[in-house]
Structure 1
Amino acid sequence: MLRRPISMAVLYRTAVLACLSAPVAAAHAGEAPRYDEEPVLEAATLVPPERLGGPGFTVDPHVEIRGYMAHFTLDTPAGPLQAQSVEILAEREDELPVLLALERLTRSDAFTRSAGGTLGGTARAVGNVMLHPIQTLRGLPAGVARFFAAPFVKLGRQAQSLSDRVAREWGTAGNPYPAADGPMTDARQARGERPGRSWYAGVGAEAGRELKRQAEYGQAKRELARQLGVDPYTSNPYLHDQLDRLAWAGVGGRLSAAAVLGGVGGTAAMATTLQIDSAVWSLDGDALRARNEERFGRWCADDLLVRQFLRRGTFTPTFHGRLLESLDTLRPAAGGDALLELAMSARSELEARFVVNALRLLAADPSVDSGAGRLRTIGAALAWQRADGSVLLPLPVDYLSWTPEVEAFFDRAEFRLRDKTALVAGQATPRVRRGLTERGWGLELFARWPGAPRRASDSEPAPLD
């Protein structure tokens, strides 16, 4: 039977956020604040009505904006789910029918009998270590604010030489997959307070990888995901757990995906709205890396950089595919290495999505001169420079506020151009629009890429004062 949590914590959180959203008085009476406070908004102002609730789920009506992204909370029969952007909210809701069907299946007597003892203690223990490492619970800065922070962007063009030098030094010391810090590192919260690696971060993870290789776990999980129409690399914790359990049952009991999913009522793909590259279902990790290394090689000159990027865990094979699809559309004359340097500096799924979706916004814009322009990193932002020198700046954020970091970012010397346009995927406050207008920017709000989630149809920009 599916469990529905009693959400007293949600009630408390709602009350606290309501207080936080109260207007902040100006420092001096009658003086208008210079900057925006990131607000708490009604969910209905951000997403269309069908995303506010449906069979088996509700969305908390109060949405906190943190780091320019909307942080949603879903209440589902499987448990509470967090969605840190409009895009992730849409994916979690589209995954929900699959998740609920798997919840029913894995709790059924028929599944328990067919799986037998395949979900043994050792398999569960190793699987849980890999799925729920302590590192994932450490606090990370909210949203994608670090892309605008001055300390974060200061390394600039030094990134590649630093990355290459450190990588080659480690490579000669016997580390087969070296990794150097990227431009994002300096702005990380609590940089000097990194606890030492736990025992299971090394030994446990390696044991898990070896065990799963021997058990053909990856192949079983990919086939299950294909049958269900979901991403085998999903970050949905409940769906990830269910796929893990089913893969162990299939491998340990030598059951096919069709046999394992018999209780779902068929094996036709259920999550048909998700954008999944079929290669992530059909190819294992090594084959995917070889395929993607060749494809990235068309746009990136540094082979070592490509290999490093493909070995880093923040970008899943699904995100690799989305980057490559956009690169193949843009066909940049230069800048592929700069893109990967920026991508390698991401330390969370949300930051990885920011890089992926920035590229997707560029690939979808009709004014982009594919094959003639080049990619540039200006600070920690990705931009497209046309052959005539004009710049297109994609900002795949949900709600852009005028903060000191945003002001300093747009005051950068590199943006002192006559022709420049910012593409914002979501909303922007009146102060943002006024600040960009004063600095000579063109601004397009609610910019989209193919397959981008719909936003609230009544989210028209408020008039400038």
Structure 2
Amino acid sequence: MPRPRASSHPLLLLALAFLLCPLSALAAKLSEAFETPYNLSASRILPPELLSGPHHRVEEQVENDGYMNTYRVRSRYGPYRVVSTALLAVRVREFEAMAAMDKVAGGEQFGKSVLEGGESVLKGVANLVTSPVETLESAASGVGKLFARAEEGISGSPPSNHEDSTGAKLTGFASTRRALAVAFGVDPYTTNEPLRKRLSDLAAAGYTGQLTSMGLKALIPGGVGLAVSGVSSVNWLGEVDLAQPPSDLRMKNRADLERLKTPSGPATAFMDNREYTPTQQTLTVRALSAMGGPGGLDVFLRLAASTENQDQALFRTRMARMYAGYARKVDALKGFVALGRLAGAKAASGRLVLCFPLDHLCWTPDVARLATDIEAGRERVGAGPVELWVTGTVSQKVRSLFAARGWTVHEKAGKELLDEDF
């Protein structure tokens, strides 16, 4: 009797594998193959006003780390690396303000730059013009760490890393600078270094009497306040009185947290985190105050206090505002629950609500683990089905796998929850 050929053994083993392993389980394994984050096309995901304008152009290739987009922007003020679509919208507004500032100052003293052949030229700029946290080391955002990883100060919280020096505060220079920022419709605590320099230069001129208030109003397009056509990205600035000194904002924020009866430990830890700008901190506290008094605010604050960089600070601030928008427009929130380093909320309907300000979510090992943890957390708190709200989009795989778990996914939620137009 002839012996079977050795070459037939692999086929025999494969046949046995199919017989021994349930087809449904094998199909599930194949369907859950992880995605490698991929590049996106700027022209396909951005509205025209963010894609390009008189002072900037976004490069076509957009890097995504599975959570946030990283945009490369060529501008009249140098090249920028911008993490998140939300921050890109802010930068576009700031480019308009910088152009107006250059007109006010005569332009020459701030330097000239032009867009030629798709390349940005700016004297004295050897590397990307970025904020200290916008490094060139990696396209990965700081937000990804929140998905990968599951001492209290004195009564007067320390200043953030984004405020003027003590000397500037004492001379009155800082108040002049804040007034200019308000007039131009930008955040005085911006992380945009070229804008910060322009604000400081104009403030120095104004403080020494070279630029009168009336002269400034006459030169700013539209008087006081800068209107940028088609971009409502920074309407949230109107929620904060940016003319107030940051110490006054902190004092009010502490009082608001006390009024919400948040435990002093998490509240102080959040207030003492220097990664948040005064604006971000104030917006977060206002969002918490607008949620209708859900339980577990200490949970949200404890997680917010762990913020390590500006990517995460912006993410946490927008998350708070999304939950406030949900409470105002969709359903009341009963209380927050910790899901690793992220905050979920149980709604009055019983659903577990996840408001994540993400650009594009891919199915990665970290997301798979988080989904498992979320299901466990949902059962622990006795919540119903999961609702995921993201300001951007999710991949088809994420959409189908979450649907198989009974989750509801709401994409482009910034329009509904934050009144954004991108």
TM bracket (short chain): 0.7 to 0.9
- Structure having the higher Rg: 2
CA shift digits 1:141-172 (9 cap, x unpaired) = 524111211xx22xxxxxxxxxxxx337xx6x
Structure 2 residue 194 is the aligned partner of structure 1 residue 238:
yes
The code of the aligned residue for 2:188 comes to: P
Which residue in the other structure is 1:117 paired with? none
Which residue in the other structure is 1:319 paired with? 280
Q: Partner of 1:71: helix, strand, or coil?
A: strand
Which residue in the other structure is 1:415 paired with? 378
Tell me if the contact between 2:142 and 2:309 (Cα under 8 Å) persists in the aligned partners. Answer: no
Q: Partner of 2:187: helix, strand, or coil?
A: coil
Alpha-carbon distance in 1 for matches of 2:222, 2:178? 17
Alpha-carbon distance in 1 for matches of 2:239, 2:332? 29
Tell me if the contact between 1:67 and 1:144 (Cα under 8 Å) persists in the aligned partners. Answer: no
Cα displacement (A) at 1:44: 2.0
Alpha-carbon distance in 2 for matches of 1:410, 1:300? 31
Cα displacement (A) at 1:339: 1.1
Alpha-carbon distance in 2 for matches of 1:330, 1:263? 40
What is the aligned counterpart of 2:392 among 422, 426, 439? 426
Which residue in the other structure is 2:98 paired with? 99
Q: After the TM superposition, which residues 331-350 of structure 1 pair with which residues of structure 2 at under 5 Å, given as runs? A: 331-350=292-311
Aligned length: 362
Over 3 Å counting, the alpha-carbon distance change for 1:271 and 1:237 in structure 2 is farther
Tell me if the contact between 2:275 and 2:309 (Cα under 8 Å) persists in the aligned partners. Answer: yes
CA shift digits 1:55-88 (9 cap, x unpaired) = 1221111111125111112211111122211111
Which residue in the other structure is 2:56 paired with? 57
The code of the aligned residue for 2:421 comes to: R
Q: After the TM superposition, which residues 370-449 of structure 1 pair with which residues of structure 2 at under 5 Å, given as runs? A: 370=333, 373-387=334-348, 389-412=350-373, 413-416=376-379, 418-448=384-414, 449=416
Higher mean C-alpha deviation, range 279-288 or range 333-342: 279-288
Tell me, which stretches of 5 or more residues in structure 2 are unaligned?
Answer: 1-29, 112-128
Over 3 Å counting, the alpha-carbon distance change for 1:132 and 1:430 in structure 2 is closer
Over 3 Å counting, the alpha-carbon distance change for 1:295 and 1:111 in structure 2 is same
Q: Partner of 1:281: helix, strand, or coil?
A: coil
Root mean square deviation, CA, Å: 3.3
Q: Partner of 1:454: helix, strand, or coil?
A: coil
Provide TM-score, normalisation by structure 2: 0.76
Alpha-carbon distance in 2 for matches of 1:330, 1:303? 19
Which residue in the other structure is 2:152 paired with? 167
Tell me, which stretches of 5 or more residues in structure 1 are unaligned?
Answer: 1-30, 113-130, 154-165, 180-201, 456-465
Over 3 Å counting, the alpha-carbon distance change for 1:34 and 1:135 in structure 2 is closer
Tell me if the contact between 1:395 and 1:422 (Cα under 8 Å) persists in the aligned partners. Answer: yes
The code of the aligned residue for 1:103 comes to: D
Which residue in the other structure is 2:35 paired with? 36
Which residue in the other structure is 1:369 paired with? 332
Counting aligned pairs with the same residue, the percent is 24
